[in-house]
Amino acid sequence: MPLSVTIVGGGPSGCAAAITLARDGARVTLIDKAQFPRDKCCGDGLTTGALRILDELHFDRSKVVDWQPCDEVKLRTPAGRTVLLNLPKSNGLFAAIAPRIQLDDALLRQTKDAGVDVREGTSFQSIEEVDERVVMTCTTSTGETVKLESDYLFAADGMWSPVRKHLGVGIESYLGEWHAFRQYVSNVTGEARHKLIVWFEPDLLPGYAWSFPLPGNRANIGFGVLRDDTHSVQFMKKVWDDLKVRPHVVDALGPGAVYEDRHTAWPIPARVDDATKAVGRVLFIGDAVCATDSLTGEGIGQALLTGQLAARTVLSHHDDAARVRGEYEATIDHHFYADHRMSRRLGRVLARRRGAEGALRIVDLNSWTRRNFARWMFEDEPRAALFTPSRWHKSFLRRPGAFVD
């Protein structure tokens, strides 16, 4: 019998795992409670790390109608100074913007094409282990109860993972480490129509505001802040209303910019260092393992990577569940632990206005610092690569980007 895996959740982590497993001959069933296409609140930015994994998965970016490559970056310091960064314009792609409603739909379609049994409109209910197998009970949109049996189950079901909660390893009253607001804007006539902009606003530190360009003179604009006692929901709503009328934001978007629909908000989980990674024959991936970058709040690349790592671990050691758990936990620590600690330390520096201003002055010292900071910021290399020799390689910050023609 071939290896069989059930995956709960059809976002980037679930799809990355499913595609990797199916290509190696595993029998995979993926369920998601939603019907796709469905939106996911997100900044829509894709880092170099995320793009490289999508490339490894042979993702067809032409399936994302509003796919927007990006190589120009503008930073605004807390004091209002401007730092201009450029990513390489040749030898591959280093940053892009892709609306999540389109990206996730395209990934799920690719997952189906890979031979995965995808069941939309199907909700997780419970699981139990029986004779070294996982039996999951789920409910379809028509109310039918279905049981799915497999060797392993991957929980790719978000930061409030119903699977994690069912197993009793959830985090009580968990609200995430970050909180973010987002809204789409049309009729963008300022520089935001073609340039990725990050504003380090004094009242948001160590958070920041952003504007990510999209085709058709549109942009994704929003901000993220650490969730703490000083950043209540009321504070965030007030800041959002004020941010949109700040002169530098209005100037970047253009005076005729039109905010579409309403803003949306979402929590961001960033505690992979102490999150439960595996229980029995269940592995947690993506937001369910809280793998988001604690410095930037970026999570797509991390989600894709955890899905890949879980799939590769099970493919290599599926006959030994205890070894699968141990290897997966060790692999996640190898790829995330040092970077998570580094991001938290840098976050403490950026939390102070003087620290943020000083750090950005260093970034702007010369062309070398600007060029390499841009690549580091977009996760061309792991955050703490310099301090983890096991991840060193000869082409540090010199590798080509993704989707090299």
pLDDT at 265: 87
HSE-up (13 A, CA, CB side) for residue 175: 12
Q: Is the CB of residue 267 less than 8 Å from the CB of residue 225?
A: no
**Alpha-carbon distances, residue 226 vs 72, 235, 360, 366 (angstroms):** 26, 12, 20, 31
pLDDT at 301: 96
220 - beta bridge partners?
184, 212
Model confidence over 241-277: pLDDT tens digits? Answer: 999 999 999 999 999 999 998 888 888 999 999 899 9
Cβ neighbours, 10 Å, residue 237: 13
For 294, residues 6+ apart whose C-beta sits below 8 A from its C-beta are: 177, 178, 270, 271, 340, 343, 344, 347
Both tokens of residue 57?
């998965």
pLDDT at 378: 92
| Positions of the chain with pLDDT lower than 50, given as ranges | none
pLDDT at 244: 93
Both tokens of residue 306?
């955890």
Equal CATH topology for 4-70+94-174+270-345 and 178-268: no
335 - beta bridge partners?
none
Q: In CATH, what class is 178-268?
A: alpha beta
Q: Where are the domains of the chain?
A: 4-70+94-174+270-345, 178-268
What is the maximal distance between C-alpha atoms in the chain?
65
Both tokens of residue 338?
């040092």
pLDDT at 306: 98
Nearest to 387, CA basis, from 396, 395, 378: 396
Residue 216: exposed, middle, or buried by beta-carbon count in 10 A (0-12, 13-18, 19+)? exposed
pLDDT at 1: 79
One CATH from 3.40.980.10, 3.30.70.3340, 3.30.70.2190, 3.50.50.60 for 4-70+94-174+270-345: 3.50.50.60
